[in-house]
Amino acid sequence: MITVGIYLAAGNSRRMETDKRALPLADSSLGSCALQAALSSFLSTVFLIVQPNDSLDWVVSPLLHHEKITIVRCPSATQSFSLRCGVREAIRHQAEAAIVLLADQPFVRKETINELIACFAQTRTDYVAFTNNSIPFPPILFNATVFPLLLNIQGDEGARQLIRQKHWNGTLLYTDDHRLFFDIDTMEEYKQALEYWEKGGIG
């Protein structure tokens, strides 16, 4: 089964006023944590979606040379446009499913990704995601059958919002690890992530 990763890293970090992907975290960089997890997982390929002028200096060097990584330069920073860039690559690679990952979710682990893949192999539902309150959160695995719908997302509307509006047949996996859903948009949240790491690590 061909399952690819769509790693969305083309944002502008407007609320941080600095490139949050480059901030140090867990002996790495914030933006490299989930990328490392994705490349270490059972994903066949990971499409790293970035802006055309991205120097990629925020990525830990060994990851850029990983055999699974493919750099995709997207002309727009909006999440919907970035997602469409990734979905088109997934279609070109004849993927049966794609997992959408966010560069500002550093607590995603390879085990998280592998569990999504294993669940999809059994259920073949429209999507598979983790939840702790009946609402799906990234990372989210999408069946190739819904790729055409993902290509219709506009503006800053994310795939999660599309799921909430559509009557899709999805599978939700429960987790009590709230760090999995933690994304970093502000300096306060970054400081909180540092505290999380000091207390328990990223895994």
Q: Which residue has the tokens 């992530």?
A: 193
pLDDT at position 203: 45
pLDDT at 8 over 60: yes
Burial class (CB in 10 A: 0-12, 13-18, 19+), 195: exposed
Region 170-194 average pLDDT: 89
Q: DSSP letters of 40-76?
A: HSS-SEEEEEE-TT---TTS-HHHHT-TTEEEEE-S-
Percent of the chain with pLDDT over 70: 92
Weakest mean pLDDT among 29-33, 45-49, 165-169: 165-169
Choice between 85 and 136, residue whose per-residue pLDDT is larger = 85
Helix ranges, 93-155 (H):
110-123, 147-150
Q: Which residue has the tokens 């802006």?
A: 51
Region 67-76 average pLDDT: 93
| Amino acid of residue 7 | Y
76 and 82 Cβ atoms separated by less than 8 Å: yes
- Work out whether the CA dihedral 30, 133, 124, 126 comes out positive or negative: negative
pLDDT at position 73: 96
Beta bridge partners of 7: 48, 101
pLDDT band at 18 (very low <50, low <70, confident <90, very high): confident
Question: Which of 72, 71, 10, 7 shows the shortest CA–CA distance to 40?
Answer: 7
What are 32-60's pLDDT values in tens digits? 999 999 999 999 999 999 999 999 999 99
SS3 162: helix
Q: What is the largest CA-CA distance in the chain?
A: 43
4 and 98 Cβ atoms separated by less than 8 Å: yes
Q: Where are the domains of the chain?
A: 3-200
Q: How many helices (H) and strands (E) does the chain have?
A: 7, 9
What are 97-149's pLDDT values in tens digits? 999 999 999 999 999 999 999 999 999 999 999 987 778 889 999 999 999 99
pLDDT band at 64 (very low <50, low <70, confident <90, very high): very high
Fold of 3-200: Spore Coat Polysaccharide Biosynthesis Protein SpsA; Chain A (3.90.550)
pLDDT band at 200 (very low <50, low <70, confident <90, very high): low
